[in-house]
Amino acid sequence: MNFSRRHVLAVTAASATVCSTGLLGNAAYAATAEDLNRSAAQALQTLYRTNETAAKIGKIAKAALVFPNIVRAGLIFGGGYGEGVLLEGPKAIDYYNSITGSWGLQAGGESYGYVVFLMNERARSYLQKSRGWEIGVGPTVVLVNEGVAKNLSSTTLRDDAYAFIFGQQGLMASLSIEGTKISHIKR
């Protein structure tokens, strides 16, 4: 049989989609509000114990959008899914999902959690009024890594939102173009 490059790419894309869907299917179950609240509280406490900067920012943020478990998988095409809670202090205000799509040079699977601290009323209001958020559109989000964290203090916090990724497990080798959409869900 003679396979063209186009045919091989089509089969690879289809296989990646099937693999991603199968791996993500277990994580895409609909958690109850109580499950999400409990998982979000535990995840936030874990982040605070392991990241002093996150704990400081958490004390002054207007709200925190906590996604305790995102599962991501891909082979050229990939995707990720998780559900989370918008917290104002310890109180759960609303529920959201996080969907990530990507394409490019990537292979593997991983799970992780992330928290987006909403620093002002503008960011909190945008999330609730728009009933969702496409990262990169709307309020400014800064992804905090070790280098950024060293330079943050209560006087240098000027952006609308700060995101922390934590608890990464698995192996995902990627060089990809990604997009994350956060949407309101009912619980």
pLDDT number for residue 154: 45
Report field, pTM of the whole predicted structure over 0.95: no
Three-state DSSP class for residue 83: strand
Q: Return the pLDDT at 24.
A: 45
Q: What secondary structure letter does DSSP report for 154?
A: T
- Residue 30 pLDDT: 59
- Backbone CA torsion sign across 102, 63, 85, 149: positive
pLDDT for 166: 87
The reported pLDDT for the residue numbered 169 is 86
In 105-143, which positions are buried (b, 16+ CB within 10 angstroms) versus exposed (e)?
ebeebbbbbbbbbbbbeebbebbbeeebbebeebbebbe
How many angstroms separate the CA atoms of 179 and 166, rounded?
Answer: 19
Q: What is the pLDDT of residue 22?
A: 47
Distance between CA atoms of residues 119 and 158, nearest Å:
9
Whether the CB-CB separation of 172 and 106 falls below 8 Å is answered with yes
Consecutive 10-residue averages of pLDDT for the chain (187 residues):
45 44 47 93 95 92 95 90 95 93 86 92 85 61 56 54 86 67 89
pLDDT digits (tens, 9 = 90+) for 69-86: 999 999 988 899 999 999
- The pLDDT score that the predictor gives to residue 32 is 92
DSSP 3-state assignment of 41?
helix
What integer pLDDT is reported at residue 25 of this predicted model?
Answer: 45
